Amino acid sequence: MASDRIFGLVTLFVALGYIASATQIQTSFLTDPVGPKAFPMLIGAVAALCSLVMIVKPDPDPDWPMLRTWGALAIAVIVLIIYAYALKPLGFVIPTVFAAGILSYQISPRMVPAALSGAGLSIGLFLLFKYALGLSLVGFPKGWF
């Protein structure tokens, strides 16, 4: 019970810090009616609400994950950090293929479906973000095309 309350308290502080940092977002004169602050503040509010529920009503007998699960989480975090650093020099498609493929392999350890999932997600998300949503997304390294 204490572990849930401690985690809830830490999450509450992180959520409040997230909301505070969202209030610092600069807005330009061409914004939508909601503005760029609304979504991060909504995420922070939901996280704060969930943390309050964990503090008030903790799980009486929490099950901690096994060591293998912690290892899988560490691999996922490392992959996402590398992915974030690889986006700018390599574009969107190549890092997304590898990151989505590795994370898909962690969900279901079959090589061919994981590789196909990575490629499909990468291309599909690129088309969605670039053409459907109109984001200025760089697909590949600048010198390639």
Worst-scoring range by mean pLDDT, 10-19, 21-30, 74-83, 131-140? 21-30
Closest to 126 (Cα-Cα) out of 82, 84, 83, 93 = 93
Q: Where are the alpha helices (DSSP H) in the chain?
A: 2-22, 38-56, 67-90, 93-107, 111-127
Question: For 90-132, what is each residue's pLDDT tens digit?
Answer: 999 999 999 999 999 999 999 999 999 999 999 999 999 888 8
- Structure confidence at residue 34 (pLDDT): 63
Q: Identify the CA nearest to 122 among candidates 89, 145, 99.
A: 99
Residue 120: the pLDDT is 96
- Contacts of residue 102, Cβ cutoff 8 Å, sequence gap at least 6: 75, 79, 114, 118
Query: Any idea where the domains of the chain sit in the sequence?
Result: 2-56, 67-132
pLDDT in tens, 16-73: 999 999 888 877 666 666 667 788 899 999 999 999 999 999 888 877 788 999 999 9
